[in-house]
Amino acid sequence: MPTKIGYLGPDDSTFGYEAAEQYFRGQADIQLVPFKTHADICDAVGRRKIHRGVVAIENTAAGIVTETVFAMENAFSSRSVHAVAEVELTINQLFLRKTNDGSPPKKLLSHIAALQQCKHFVDSLREQGITIEARNSTGEAAKEANENPEFAVIASERAQEKYGLLRVREEPVADSKTNFTRFWILGTEVAERSGDGKHKTCFLVNLEQAKSGVLSKTLECFGKRDLNLLIVFPIPIKGRKWEYTFLIEYSGHFDDEAVQEAYNELTQEGLCVGTPMVLGSYLSATTTK
C-alpha cells in the first residue's frame, strides 16, 4: 500500500509538488496526491485519508503564510495534526503568458503568496490597469493562463514547461533575488528527536491581553533559558476586533528540558487564554550554524 502524500495541486507544476518531491525523494512506494487548498491538506491528514501533508508556512520575502496557520489551528484543535518535519525550497517566480506579442494582459493570476512575494512587480501591473486575481495555487493559475492568452500568470518554471507558456520577462519577478519558502511536513503524531540535529518547536498562543506586558513576559519564559526566538508573528483572531493569536517558534525540541520548563511556566503564570497549542517539533532545515 503506497504512502499517500498530500500537496497543493492541481498537478505537478506547483511549488508544493516540488517540495514534496524534494523531501520524499528516494523513499519507496510514495503516492503524491493533489489538493485544492492548504486547509484541505490539513483536514485530509487529520482524517487519515493521507499519511503526510506538505504545506507552505514561511517565505523569505513575504513572511508567514497565514492561510496555513489558520488551517493548522483548526486541524490541530479538531484532529491533532502536527508539523513533524520541514523542507526548504528555492522559489523562482516567473511572469508567463501563452503568447508574448507585447500587448498588456487583461489579468494577472497567481496564488496570493506568490503575489505577495512579487509585490513591487504586481503593483506596477496594477498601475497599468491590469486586474490582479488570486487562485488556489500557481499551478491552477498557469492552467487558466494556458486556456486564455489574454491572461498572464506568476508561476514556476515547471508550470511554464507543463502548459507551454512563454516568459514575458527572462528573469524572476520576486521582490528578492534570494527567494525561499519553507514547507511543513504534517502528520498526526508528535515527531521524536532526530539524533543530534538542531530542532525547532512552534507554538500558537492566545495571550491574556488585559494584562500588561504579557507578550514580553511570554518571551521571557523562553529567553531566560537561552532558547533562541526564531519567529513571533501576530495572527488575527477571526470575529474578534484587534485581538491576536501569536505564532511563536523557538530553537529546541519540545522534549528538551529547557523547552518543557518554559512551556510549564507559560501555562502556570496565567499569561495565556486556554492551553498553548504545540503545533510541532521538527528537525531544522534552515539552520546554517
Are 138 and 209 in the same domain? no
User: pLDDT by residue (tens digit) across 63-121?
Assistant: 999 999 999 999 998 889 999 999 999 999 999 999 988 889 999 999 999 999 999 99
Residue 252: closest CA among 273, 222, 224, 272: 222
User: pLDDT by residue (tens digit) across 142-190?
Assistant: 999 999 999 999 999 999 999 999 999 999 999 998 899 999 999 998 8
Neighbours of 177 (CB within 10 A): 9
Question: What pLDDT is stored for residue 137 in this prediction?
Answer: 95
Coil, helix or strand for 255? coil
Are 8 and 66 in the same domain? yes
Are 42 and 183 in the same domain? yes
Is residue 260 classed exposed, middle or buried when 0-12, 13-18 and 19+ CB atoms within 10 A define those classes?
Answer: middle
Are 250 and 223 in contact, with CB atoms under 8 Å apart? no
Are 37 and 18 in the same domain? yes
Are 69 and 109 in the same domain? no
**Strands 82-90 and 131-135, how do they pair?**
unpaired
Question: What pLDDT is stored for residue 9 in this prediction?
Answer: 95
pLDDT band at residue 287 using 50, 70 and 90 as cut-offs: low
User: Is residue 43 a part of any domain in this protein?
Assistant: yes
In sequence order, the 6+-apart residues with CB closer than 8 A to the CB of 135 are 109, 110, 111, 141, 144
User: Is residue 193 a part of any domain in this protein?
Assistant: no
How far apart CA 147 and CA 150 sit, in angstroms, is: 9
Average pLDDT, the chain: 93
User: pLDDT by residue (tens digit) across 32-50?
Assistant: 999 999 999 999 999 999 9
How far apart CA 116 and CA 204 sit, in angstroms, is: 23
How far apart CA 42 and CA 37 sit, in angstroms, is: 9
Are 139 and 159 in the same domain? yes
User: pLDDT by residue (tens digit) across 3-29?
Assistant: 999 999 999 999 999 999 999 999 999
Answer yes or no: is pLDDT of 122 > 50: yes
Are 168 and 95 in contact, with CB atoms under 8 Å apart? yes
CATH code for the domain in which residue 25 is found = 3.40.190.10
Tell me whether the omega of the peptide bond preceding residue 236 falls within 30 degrees of 0, making it cis.
no
Q: Which domain holds residue 62?
A: 3-91+179-187
Are 216 and 278 in the same domain? yes
Give the pLDDT mean for 136-147. Answer: 96
Instruction: State the total domains in the chain.
Output: 3
* CA atoms within a 13 Å half-sphere pointing along the CA-CB vector of 169: 15
Dihedral (CA of 51, 55, 57, 60) sign:
positive
Answer yes or no: is pLDDT of 289 > 60: no
User: Is residue 34 a part of any domain in this protein?
Assistant: yes
Amino acid at 99: T
pLDDT band at residue 273 using 50, 70 and 90 as cut-offs: confident
Are 65 and 118 in the same domain? no
How far apart CA 288 and CA 138 sit, in angstroms, is: 29
Question: What pLDDT is stored for residue 29 in this prediction?
Answer: 93
pLDDT band at residue 191 using 50, 70 and 90 as cut-offs: confident
Angle, helices 257-268 vs 214-223, to 10°: value is 160
Are 86 and 119 in the same domain? no
